[in-house]
Structure formats: C-alpha cells, structure tokens
Structure 1
Amino acid sequence: MAHVLVPTTGNPILEDGLLNDGHTVTLIVPANAVPTYRQRYPELSVFGVHSWDDLAELTALNYHLPEVDAVATNDEQCVVAAAHLRELRGLPGLSVADARCFTDKHLMLTRLAQAGIPVAPHRVVHHESEIAAAAEAIGWPVVVKPRSGMATVHTYRVGNPQELAQLRATGVFETPVEDTAHRFGASDLLGALNGARGGYLVQACIDVVEECFVDLYLFEGERLLAAPGRYHKPIMLSMGGGHRHWTVLSPDLPETIAVVDLVHRAVTALGSHTGVHHVEVLRDRSGKLWLGEAAARTGGGIYQAYGLQYAMDVPHVLAQLALGVRPDIDQLTPHYPALTTLALAPAPGIVRHFTSADDLRALPAVVDVDLTLTIGQPVPRGFGSMPGGGRILIRPRATDPGTVLADVEELLAVLALDIALALAKV
C-alpha cells in the first residue's frame, strides 16, 4: 500500500478512490476548510494553505508534510500546487511548467497555437478600458474571461462596443464572484477581473454550432479510454441559466473520431502523458474543429455518465493513475451506446413538487438519479455553469441532438418540477 498526498478543495473522488483501495492519504485543503475536512476524515492528517498559488507557502509547508509515494489531485485549483510539491520531492508527474499550461489559458492557448492546434486568437488585458482595443485587433465579437478559471465564472460574450459599454456599466469587471460553492478559500479564481494578477483574456468568439468534450485517459502516452460527447448547446449560449444536458457518445462514431484525435494531440502538446484530461472542442459552421480549453482532471458531472456507460470504477482508476499504475480500461466495452445527463437548474424559489427519485428510476430510460431538491426548501444554488438541482441520466433513443432533446423534454414533463418563484428584490 502507498501513501499519497492529495491537495483538494471539494470533489473527493480521488481521495475516496485511494482510501477505498486501502492506501494512506494525507490531505492539503484551504485553511478555512481544515475543520470541515478533519470532521469528514477524522482518521487522516489534514493540512491547510492560504493560497494555492503561493509556492513559497507551499515550500514552507512541505517541511511539515510526511514522506509520501506520490502527490496527486483531481482539482483544477490544485494542479500547479501538486506539481510544485512533486518537484520539491523529486516525484514523477506533471511538471510545474506543464501544469501552468493546463490552468493558465494564456499559456495554454499560446502553446497549443505553437504546436499547430487550431485555437481562437486572444490578447491579454489588465483593465476593462483595454478590452475595446483588443477586440478591434482581434475582431468582434469576443469572449472576455479569466486566465485561470472554471465553470464559466467571469466569462462574458461581448458582441460590439455598445454591448461592452453596457457591461462595463454593470460593474462586472470590478466585482468579485460570491463563493457559493464554498471551495475557493485558497484561490484567486473569484476575484475581480480588473487587477487580476497577470491580467485576463479577450479572445475571438468562434461561430460555434456544436461544442464537444472528451475525457481522455492516457498512460505513458498510450490512449486507454476516450469518452467523447456533446453539450446540448455551446456553453456560451447556456449561460443564461435553465436546465442543461449533455450526451456521452461512443469514440468510434464518425463525428467523434476526429474530435478525440485532436484532443490527444492537444494534451500531448501541453505536456501530459499520464492521467485523465477534460478537453472541450468547438465545431464552427464550416465544420472546422477548434480546441477550446483543456484541464488535467475529470469533467465535472461527466465522469458519472461514462463510469456507468462502461461500468468503470472511476475513483479506482484515478487512484491507479496517481500511483503510476496502468489501469486495465482499454478493453472496456460500453453497456450503453450513449448516455444523456440532464442537469437541473431551476429558477430560484421554493420547491413545491417533483416526481420522486424512486419513481424516476422506475422509468425504462432512466439509468441513475441524483437529486438535491427538497420539497418546501429553496432550490440549491449552482455555481457558474454547474447547476445545483441534481442530475438524471437516461438512455436516449438515438444520438442525434433532436431526438435527445425530445427525450429530455419528455423527462422534464414526467419530473413535473414545480417551483414557487422567489420575488425580485426592490
């Protein structure tokens, strides 16, 4: 059995996989979350940090940490911190330089472009007053977003100078985002764009007709498993709220083969050869594929679907990868040709009614249900593009977007979700 150091902020999939396999785990968490983690894992050693980006603090903390066999994380905020601790200890894994390319969008896009991977051009700005000039140089419309971020937080599509003026008038570039997920106590991800360390991005907005994703599992460069799929609409068009759905597809479909190949090239260019990677790919109106963003982690809310699709123990596989063990997943065959996840994002208010999880599970198409709704209680708040109402997984009748949408609409009718909408503040 091994001892693994795991920097983490919320999703316990890796640490739970290691513990289930009988390994010893030491956790590093945001300092303000240490009491919560010590209560959740009373048998573990838990250390706190005030900033994942402060490598000097991590270096000082390293002297107090135990000897371990590996340092690993499945958390985007912690990828650079984990790499730094590995380098201090001479352990294998993603380097700090490569880790930064998976977490800093400017470095990511620059390296991908140098490798010949199609990416939208961008500029770095440091204040909202610089956005218009950058947009003129790139061409309107543009997307404004942080260099490091997740769940589309602080991400805005700006069509022209008038829209920019309207957006600036709201103060969004000067206002931090509320930590509704309670995961960002040691992160700068939610801070205001203006004044952000290293600035933020103005990127050309691709005329997207389809946004795809792939969770790609590699071991020493070998492709073990690719779980591709598509969002029901491009994420930038889903930011107004409402329920979302996405479908995990077979990697052998004509529409997914080129997407998976592009993702493999991109991950290799970013410097990773072992681990799981979540990558988004955009398809424009001409059919051209563009690499959107890449992350050295599982796709949030996506790994549950392909875990069921392949009867794959994802936490166990992540534990094996963390320890440099080749998972035996390249021979897995899908139990379902496709699985669609309906992520519920009701409008704010009090839940009055919904069909029970047990009744939903009894439906022929339903594979899994995980609801966070309670009758008589407020709708749970989501975070960015991550809905807060829970998920329902179904087998779609076919994989074309029209059929999937019809299946989702039928499911929503059966769900019969009723919300007493919250009154607007005056």
Structure 2
Amino acid sequence: MRELGYRVVLLDEQVPWHCMPWVDVPIDVDINDFAAVADVIRDDLGDTPPAAVLTHTEPRLPLMAHLSNTLCGAPKGLTEQAALNCRDKWRTRTALKEHGLPVPAFFLAVTAEEAVHAAGDIGFPVIVKPRDGAGAFGVRLCTNDAEVTAAVTALLDAPPGALAGALVEEYIDGPEYAVQTLTQNGTTRVLSTFRQHVTEPPVFVELGYDHPSGLTEQEHRQLDDLVQSVLPALGVDNWISHTQIRRAAQGFRVIEVNARRPGGRLVEMTTAVSGVDMTEAVTRLALGLPQAPAQPTVACARYSSIVFDTAGTVLYDPVPATNDAAAPIVELEVDPGEPVLPKEHPNGGVYGRIVVFGSTPAEVDRTEQAVRDQLDLRVIAAEGLDWIGADSREFKSCC
C-alpha cells in the first residue's frame, strides 16, 4: 500500500507491536462489532472515504467486504455476499450444488444425532468439519458412529463466533490440487495449479505442494473450466481465490473455495511460476488499479512442510537469509532447543517450510536436499516428558 502511495490505517483487537512500523495509524477496536469499526474509520478519515478496505485474514473477509460497501465511495473488489459464500463451507456447497457443479454429498448437522444419521445416509467413511476455518483445523475422517459423535461434539463446543453446526460430507479419496486465480471483470486467470500432499487420514496436515502438478493437458483444461464456473456461482469477481479440489474416479470435486491469497509461502511459489504476486494483485483490485506486468517465471517449484514424526527437542543449523529471488525460502517457526510434537498431534502439525525452485524436477530435488543437509534437522527424544507451555506459532498448517 505504501509503495503505491497510500496511507495505511490498521485495525485489530490489539494491534501487535511488530506491525507498528508498517502502518501510519494503528487503532485498537472490537473487530467483531462492524458498526464500531466503521465509526472509528469515519472518525479518523472525516468526510474522506477510504480508498480501499483490505484484509488477508480469513475470518475478517465479511467485515472487509461490509466496510468496503458501507464506506467506500465506489466499492471495489469482493462483495459481502461472495465473502460469506466462501467463508461458510455450507453456503459454498449449497450454492455450487444449485448451479449443478460437483461437490461432495453433504449435510449440515446441529446435533451429534443428526450427524450420525447423515453419515449413515452418505455412507462411511465421512468427513466431519467446521463450517468455517482454514488449514484443515477440526477436519477429521470418521469410519463409524462413535467417531462421528466425538468429532461433531468437539465442533459443537466451538468458541463464540464460530458458525453454528458441523458439516458431514462424503470422503473423496483421490489426489488434491490447490488452484490460485485472479478474476477481473468476469474473466478468471488461473495463476497456478499445485499438486497438494497431506498426511493419511484421520487428520489432514498439509505436507507440501508440487509444480508442475502432474495433470495432463486435458485434465488441466477440465480443472480450469471447473474453476471458471465455480467462482461466478459464488459471486467472486475482481478478486483472487485459493481453491482446493480433489479428483475422484468420477471426476473433480470442489472441496473449498477461499476468497483470499493462500497461506504459508504459496504466494511466493505462485509468483515464481506465474509471474503474478497475488498480494500485489489483490491490493490493486481493491484500489481499482490496473495490474502490474507479469515478471519472469520458473518451470518447477516445490513447497515442503517441516513436520516431525516424534515428540522431542528440535535441533538444527539456521540457513542464512538472502535477497536472491531465486534462492530457496527456508522458514522455521521454532528455535533450536524448543519442543516439537508429531504432525498428527493437535498441538503439532507444521513447524515451517522449505520452498525451492528450478528448471527441472531433478534440479528441485537437488536443491531441497542441499537445504535439508544444511539445516541438519534432528529431534532429540523426550520420552516420559509431558507437553507444557503455550504454542505461540500463528499457523500450524500451510494455510
């Protein structure tokens, strides 16, 4: 925003100290109170409407769209209805089904008894998931009534603010793909299609992504055509999206549509393979500005999550940072000597990521192996020790 010449007002429940240098005006406000947020913006700007309202945080997309529609002289970007259609997985599936688009069989349950009955109708195994959220939190594969009851009961005890009920849906057993798009004036451009890797069920932790995806040209066309139909069905225009799709024996099925940039470092990976920076692209869409020219791209890229199979203390040798755009991206969200948990543990998951680029898959293999050799990641077992302390990581999965 600043590079484009705009003044930045940042609003949050409590603006973090590390964000202070990035903004012109930090304001603490109850961001669950839409009217209160609108009032503090008016107090700061007076009679001048904001040039744009923007967030990259999944739960705040409806607020962003509401403020844009309420405060901006000429609202641009994501509409409030589209934000709600994507934020609420039940609304997503309902809208797509009404348009004849392929989604898993699904049911919205408000009690464990309803969920068990729905699972019997759909057929085991089934997926139980929250209506909102990201990063596969709360998503679980269930193979019997008892597992459904336990999974749904946990979701129905969710904290205030979560959407009521839990989704019970058909399990699509097949490869998964993450599709990043840029839509402007009704025309959608697919920026990247990555083959996504996750742990084996019952929980789904993202292990990484590959480009190229391994799809044939015909499959790519089918997937692109599907996304081109999905986004207008949800009302997404003049915005970006991150869509997750699985391929069943009967064809592709839409799992999630997120009206935001992807998490982790998938933005940088998309920039590398498409030449389009999704963060800059959505900023320009929010402001009503033309898109920047695409930059040079790479042929191959890989995103590998840093996960662990056992609990213990992690040790590694930090990799020095570099400003070289083609250099690997290496991030760890724990310091040497800190405790870690297995990837399937509720407090475990993803502790960092490695993103590498190259002109061939073999070059990508060599680069990733060189990074891992340099890191020398290892876990010292901590048998008999209980997990203590709070987990301060902002994200436990790739998204």
Q: Do both share a fold (TM > 0.5)?
A: yes
TM bucket normalised to smaller: 0.7 to 0.9
Structure 2: runs of 5 or more not aligned: 388-399
Q: Hey, what does 2:62 align to over in structure 1?
A: 80
1:420 to 355, 380, 383: 380
Of 96, 118, 136, the match for 1:112: 96
Residue number among 209, 215, 230 corresponding to 2:180 in the alignment: 215
TM-score, normalized by length of structure 1? 0.75
- Kept after mapping to 2: 8 A contact 1:366/1:395: no
SS of the residue aligned with 2:361? coil
Preserved contact between residue 210 and residue 282 of structure 1 (Cα < 8 Å): yes
| Distance in 1 of aligned mates of 2:339 and 2:195 | 30
* Preserved CA contact (<8 Å) 2:30 2:37: no
- Choose the corresponding residue for 1:345, options 293, 297, 307: 307
TM-score (norm 2): 0.80
- For the pair 1:20 / 2:3, whether they are aligned, the reply is yes
Counterpart Cα distance in 1 of 2:27 and 2:193: 36
Judge conservation of contact 1:361–1:368 (CA < 8 Å) in 2. no
Matched residue, 1:3: none
Contact 2:181 2:192 in 1 (8 A): yes
Which runs of no fewer than 5 residues in structure 1 stay unpaired?
1-17, 178-186, 190-196
Residues 133-174 of structure 1 show CA distances to partners (whole Å, capped at 9, x for unaligned) of 111222222111111111111111111224335657xx7346
Match of 2:15 among 34, 41, 53: 34
Instruction: Say if 2:139 is the partner of 1:155.
Output: yes
What is the total number of aligned residue pairs between the two structures? 375
SS of the residue corresponding to residue 181 of structure 2 reads: strand
TM alignment of 1:109-148, pairs within 5 A: 109-148=93-132
Identity %: 22
Q: Residues 322-401 of structure 1 correspond to what in structure 2 (within 5 A)? A: 322-329=286-293, 334=297, 336-346=298-308, 347-354=310-317, 356-358=318-320, 367-379=328-340, 387-395=350-358, 397-398=360-361
Cα distance in 1 between the residues matched to 2:24 and 2:189: 32
Aligned positions of 1:201-240 closer than 5 A: 201-206=167-172, 208-233=173-198, 237=201, 239=203
The one-letter code sitting in structure 2 at the alignment partner of 1:227 is S
- 1:104 aligned partner, one-letter code: D
Match of 1:102 among 75, 83, 86: 86
What is aligned with 2:273?
309
Alignment of 1:232-251 (within 5 A): 232-233=197-198, 237=201, 239=203, 244-249=207-212
State the 1:20 CA deviation: 2.6
Q: Does the Cα contact within 8 Å between 1:239 and 1:385 map onto a contact in 2?
A: no
Match of 2:229 among 265, 269, 292: 265
Q: Give 1:344 deviation, angstroms.
A: 0.7
Structure 1 residue 300 displacement after superposition: 0.8
What root-mean-square deviation, in Å, do the aligned CA atoms of Structure 1 and Structure 2 show? 3.7
Contact 2:241–2:257 (8 Å) recurs in 1: yes
* Residues 100 and 151 of structure 1: CA distance in aligned 2, closer, same or farther (over 3 Å): same
Structure 1 counterpart of 2:191, which letter? A
Q: Does 1:200 align with 2:166?
A: yes
Following the alignment from structure 1 to structure 2, what is the Cα–Cα distance between the partners of residues 380 and 309?
A: 33
Closer/same/farther in 2, CA of residues 62 and 386 from structure 1, 3 Å limit: farther
Distance 1:290 1:333, change over 3 A: farther
Distance 2:371 2:249 in 1: 30
Gap change, CA 1:247 and 1:337, over 3 Å in 2: same
Once residues 149 and 236 of structure 2 are traced to their aligned partners in structure 1, the CA distance between those partners, rounded to angstroms, is 40
Letter in structure 2 aligned against 1:96 = E
